[in-house]
Chain A
Amino acid sequence: MVLLKSVPPPTEGVRHEQAETTAIMDGKGLGCGTLYVAETRLSWFDGSGMGFSLEYPSIGLHAISRDLSAYPQEHLYVMVNAKLSDENEAEMAENVHDDDEDASSGGEDDDDDEEGVITEIRFVPSDKAALESMFSAMCECQALHPDPEDDDSDNDFEGEEYDVEEAEAEHGQGDVPTFYTYEEGLSALTQEGQATLERLEGMLAQSVAQQYHMAGVRTDESNAEFEDGMEVDAGTTVAGQFEDADVDHW
C-alpha cells in the first residue's frame, strides 16, 4: 500500500512542493529529488522519475529536526508505521529493529502494525527555511485523514443539535429552565455577553435604520428583550411603522 513506484507525482491538491530535497530511508540515501506534500499522499521523486509515495494513515509522526548532534542536517523526519523497501519487498521486516526486545509488547492493540515495525525517512531540503512550510503542509494533510478505526468518529455530529436533557443531567442542574424570560436571560449573560448583545443590537439598529422599519423590530434600547434579535413582539408595533414600505410592492 505504501510503496507505489509507478504512480506519478500528484498534480492536484499539492499543498507544498519542495525541490532539491534529499530523501534518506532508514539510513539509506535515495538521492536528491522533489517532495510533494499532497492531500492524497506524500510523494518523493528523483530526477529520473524513481520514487515512492506514502499514504497518510501509515504515517505515525513527522517532525522538524534542527538538532545537528542527532543528525548533521536540519530535516523533516517522518516515521512510517510500516516497513518499506525501495528495492524488493523481500528484504524488509525483521532486519532493522532486531535489537528491539519490546517488539512483543507492541503487539496487543496494534492494528495493521506489525509489532512496531517502522520506517524512518528524513527529507533534507537544500532550503532549510522551507522546513516549517513542509511541516505545516503535512500537518494539514494528515488532519484530512482521520483514523477510520477510531470509534469516536461514529458520534452524532449534527452540530447545533444538542441534547438538552442530557446536558442538563450531566451538569446536575435539572431545574434550570431551558427558556429564559427577558430578565433571566439578561441576567444570565456575563459581562462580555451583555457587551456582545449591545454591540450586535447596535449593528442591527444601524442596518435597520437604513431600510424601512421591519415589523416588531425597534431601534431603541428595548431591543434587549429580543434575545436573538429575531423574535417578533406583536404587542409593540409602532404606529405608522409601515409608512416607509414601498407601496408599489402591492
Chain B
Amino acid sequence: MESAENQTPEPELVAGFSSIRERTIAENSLVILLQGLQGQVTTVDLRDESTARGHVVNVDAFMNIRLKKVLHRDRRGRLTQLEDLFVTGRNVRYVHIPDHMDIMETIQGQLAKSHRVRNFAGGRKEYAKKKS
C-alpha cells in the first residue's frame, strides 16, 4: 500500500529519490520523464554511438541509467548481452520513449508521486493540491 511510505519523512523511500537535492533537480527537468520509464524496456543511445536495450531499473537525477538484461550493440554493430549495465548521464545521448507510453501522463504521475511525499513528510498542508 502506498500509505506505508508516508510514515517516514525520508524521501528515499518514495519515488526513488535519494536526496532532496535530487528530487528538486529531477522535478525541474525532463529527467522526471525518464524516471517514469522504470520497469519498461527501452533503448538508450550512448554518446559513443553504441546502443543498449534493456529493462530500466533506475534513472537518477543526473541521468545515470541502470539497465538490466541488456543487449548492447557497439559502434561496429557487435552484439553483447549484459546482465546489468550502468551508464553515466554524461554518456547518454538519447533515451527512446516506448511508443505505448503517454509522456504527459508519465510526467504528471511522477510529479504527483513526489508531491505526496512533500505533503505528508512534514511539509505544510498548504501546498497540497487537489488530486484528480
CB-based contact B48/A173 at 8 Å: no
A-contact 0/1 string along B71-115, CB 8 Å cutoff: 010011011111111111111000000000000000000000000
Distance, CA A39 to CA B122, complexed state (A): 32
CB-based contact B83/A150 at 8 Å: no
CB-based contact A102/B118 at 8 Å: no
Instruction: Tell me the chain A residues, 125-139 only, with Cβ under 8 Å from chain B.
Output: 131-132, 135, 138-139
Distance, CA A107 to CA B91, complexed state (A): 13
CB-based contact A70/B49 at 8 Å: no
B-contact 0/1 string along A185-220, CB 8 Å cutoff: 100101011011001000000000000000000000
CB-based contact A142/B25 at 8 Å: no
B20 interfacial contact with A, CB 8 Å: yes
CB-based contact A135/B81 at 8 Å: no
CB-based contact A64/B83 at 8 Å: yes
Decide: A60 near B90, CB < 8 A? Known: A106-B47, A156-B24, A157-B25: yes
Other A-B contacts than A63-B86, A155-B28, 4 sampled, CB-CB below 8 A, are A65-B83, A132-B84, A152-B61, A180-B126
Which B residues contact A (CB, under 8 angstroms)? 1-3, 6-7, 18, 20-21, 24-25, 28-29, 31, 46-49, 60-64, 66, 70, 72, 75-76, 78-91, 118, 120, 122-131
11 pairs across A/B with beta carbons < 8 Å?
A59-B88, A62-B86, A64-B82, A70-B80, A152-B25, A159-B20, A176-B130, A178-B127, A179-B126, A188-B128, A188-B130
Which A residues contact B (CB, under 8 angstroms)? 57, 59-67, 70-71, 77, 79, 81, 99-100, 102, 105-106, 110-111, 113, 116, 118, 131-132, 135, 138-139, 142-143, 146-147, 149-150, 152-153, 155-160, 162, 164, 167, 171, 173, 176, 178-180, 185, 188, 190, 192-193, 195-196, 199, 227-228
Closest 4 CB pairs of A and B: A159-B20, A67-B81, A157-B24, A63-B85
